[in-house]
Amino acid sequence: MALPVLAVELPPPGRLESEARVPAETVEVVEPHASSPGHELRISYRGFGMTGLLTRLFGERWKIPGTEVVFFSRDGYRSGVDSGRFLAGSAWLAVSRADGRPFTVDNPSQHESGVALGPYYLIWDNLHDPAARAQGAYGWPYQVVRIDLATPADYAAARPQEADTAATEGFKHARKYCLTCHRVAGIGGEKFPADLREISRPLSDQALQSWIIEPQKMRPGTSMPPLDALLPEAERYRTADAIVRYLRTRPATDFTRP
């Protein structure tokens, strides 16, 4: 495995363990995809500690402040995590359940059950790490096949052009909640190739806000999850409003227009 690099297509788990020389560990977590308030499902997984694995894959460059570790799933889902979050050593790239049961999960928010988690599933010690507990299922991508490193410069094309505080705040939220699946100016997830600004343009601001907050009301059965249910209701609406504001502005460099 050539080191260091900026992107790694992950090999099968057995090969990764032998090449990266990072031993697998057993970790118990509250499974956020299958848990709900008042009902926590605890599962033990086997996985590789991310701190050691990232160093083996990327050398020391992943620790540079401002660097984002980006996980791509088989279907194009994209999950970016500030590299500083991994320094605490509370994240693992899981490869199986410790009890030998199927490496799958139910994901009610997307109307899916028995979803295969492999080849890799990013998990966090949300039993002891308050930040991990607060993030819910965000930052727990499954079916991971590739890991990239990104810097703030990689997002330059999608940043809002105008000096608009609300749009700038919306860009931050869009990176977390929208650019996992969608793209703006060619930046974001790979599940949907169309630019999110173009998709949302025919919608009124109110309709777009409703899509962001409760997509099931707009299209029953859609796989699009609602905006972070762990946020207080007022904050959810403020977040959605900021995302709408961002999507109504032109990015700093617009590659979607001639």
Question: Whose CA is closest to 28, among 47, 51, 45, 41?
Answer: 45
Task: Compute CA 155 distance to the chain's CA centroid, rounded to the nearest angstrom.
Answer: 15
Mean residue pLDDT across the chain: 90
User: pLDDT value at position 193?
Assistant: 81
**253 — pLDDT class (breaks 50, 70, 90):** low
CA distance 77 to 85: 20
- Structure tokens belonging to residue 117: 């988690």
What are the phi and psi torsion angles at 150 (to 5°)? -130, 155
Residue entry with tokens 């997830």? 189
17 pLDDT above the threshold of 90:
no
Predicted pLDDT of residue 3: 40
What is the predicted pLDDT for the residue at 52?
94
Cβ burial 227-255 (10 Å sphere, 16+ → b, else e): bbeeeeeeebeebbbbbbbbbbbebeeee
Dig out the tokens for 144 from the structure.
């991971």
State yes or no: pLDDT of 254 exceeds 70.
no
Which residue type occupies 190? E
pLDDT band at 251 (very low <50, low <70, confident <90, very high): low
Contacts of 184 (CB under 8 A, 6+ apart): 158, 174, 178, 195, 196, 197, 247, 251
Q: Which domains does the chain have, with CATH numbers?
A: 7-150 (no CATH), 155-247 (2.60.40.420)
pLDDT at 257 over 50: no
pLDDT at 1 over 90: no
Q: Quick check: 161 pLDDT over 90? A: no
Hey, which bits of the chain come out as E strands? 7-9, 24-30, 42-49, 68-73, 78-82, 91-97, 104-107, 112-116, 121-124, 144-150, 183-184, 187-188
User: Which amino acid would we find at residue 104?
Assistant: T
Contacts of 104 by beta carbon, 8 Å cutoff, 6+ apart: 114, 115, 116, 117
CA–CA distance from 122 to each of 47, 115, 140, 238 (Å)?
9, 15, 5, 29
Mean pLDDT check: name the lowest of 92-101, 177-186, 244-253. 244-253
> Cβ(68)–Cβ(150) under 8 Å?
yes
Q: What whole-number distance in Å separates Cα of residue 19 and Cα of residue 72?
A: 21
Q: Tell me the per-residue pLDDT of 46-97, one tens digit each, with 9 for 90 and over.
A: 999 999 999 999 999 999 999 999 999 999 999 999 999 999 889 999 999 9
> With the CA atoms of 235, 237, 241 and 247 taken in that order, what torsion angle do they form, in degrees rounded to the nearest 10?
100
